[in-house]
């Protein structure tokens, strides 16, 4: 069976750029305003906002371009900041996590491991309650996992 990529499609990438780009732009704007007011006693605040803007931008890129390759031997996580392989033998389950943040429901998929903490699967975050794309991704992962474990 050929390897399968799990990640955002182009529409989801564009939507995520708009949502997360606005936050990064707001942080950058706050930092610029603080610099232009030229108050030397606030250097620590400007530095903190600058670091926060960089972390938000790296997190956005990691969220948008992170993907997982489903292979015969396991899940290969490929994100902006790391690479990791989780063998199928270490997978205890695939779960959908739902969180409520600012009156919005956010869903994503997580790999529950036999040992260690559960890992969020990149490219599966969505704010839609009934998302057919998320269900398709979960079904593909479940199918690969059951084939690898059951032979």
Q: Give the model confidence (pLDDT) of 62-77 as tens digits.
A: 878 889 999 999 999 9
The two most distant CA atoms of the chain are separated, in Å, by 66
The span from the CA of 5 to the CA of 81, in Å, is 18
Instruction: Tell me the pLDDT tens digit for each residue of 104-138.
Output: 888 889 999 999 899 999 888 888 878 888 899 99
**Among candidates 57, 58, 35, which has minimal Cα distance to 46?**
35
pTM for the full predicted model = 0.75
What percentage of the chain exceeds 70 in pLDDT?
Answer: 95
DSSP 68-131: EEE-SSEEEEE-SS-EEEEEGGGEEEEEEEEEEETTEEEEEEEEEESSS--EEPTT--B--SS-
What mean pLDDT do residues 53-65 have?
Answer: 81
What value, to the nearest 5°, has the Cα angle with vertex 20 and ends 50 and 94?
115
pLDDT of residue 57: 81
């Amino acid at each position: 069976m050929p390897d399968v990529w799990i990640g955002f499609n182009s529409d989801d990438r564009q939507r995520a750029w708009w949502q997360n780009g606005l936050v990064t732009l707001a942080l950058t704007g706050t930092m610029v305003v603080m610099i232009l007011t030229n108050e030397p006693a606030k250097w620590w605040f400007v530095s903190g906002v600058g670091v926060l803007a960089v972390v938000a931008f790296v997190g956005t890129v990691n969220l948008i371009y992170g993907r997982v390759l489903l292979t015969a031997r396991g899940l290969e996580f490929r994100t902006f900041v790391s690479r990791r392989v989780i063998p199928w033998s270490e997978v205890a389950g695939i779960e959908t996590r739902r969180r409520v943040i600012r009156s919005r429901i956010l869903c994503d998929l997580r790999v529950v491991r036999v040992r260690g903490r559960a890992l969020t699967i990149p490219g599966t975050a969505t704010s839609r309650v009934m998302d057919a794309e998320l269900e398709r991704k979960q079904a593909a992962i479940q199918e690969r996992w059951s084939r690898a474990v059951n032979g």
